[in-house]
Amino acid sequence: MDIEKLIKENPELLLAIANLIAKAGGDEQANSEPKPKKAKRSRSKKPAVSVVEEDTKIRVKSTKFRKSNRPNLFDSMEIKNSHKADAKTDKKLLKNRRPSERREALDLINVVCRCCGKKEKINPGIVYDAARYKCNQCSTSSG
Comparing 30-34, 71-75, 121-125, 130-134, which segment has the lowest mean pLDDT?
30-34
Domain membership flag for residue 48: no
The reply to whether 18 falls in a domain is no
What tens digit of pLDDT does each residue of 2-40 get?
777 777 777 787 788 888 888 887 545 544 566 667 766
pLDDT digits (tens, 9 = 90+) for 30-79: 445 666 677 666 665 555 555 555 555 565 666 555 666 778 888 888 88
130 φ/ψ angles, rounded to the nearest 5 degrees: -60, -30
In a domain, residue 131? The reply is yes
pTM: 0.31
Q: What phi and psi values does residue 54 have, to the nearest 5 degrees? A: -125, 115
Do residues 45 and 36 lie in contact, with contact meaning Cβ atoms separated by under 8 Å?
A: no
Query: Does a structural domain hold residue 134?
Result: yes
The verdict on residue 117 lying in a domain is yes
Q: Where are the alpha helices (DSSP H) in 10-141?
A: 11-24, 82-93, 136-140
Q: Is position 25 within any domain?
A: no
For residue 119, tell me if it sits in a domain: yes
> Whole domain around residue 134: which residue ranges?
109-140
Distances (CA, A) of 79 to 47, 90, 124, 139: 34, 17, 53, 58
Domain count, the chain: 1
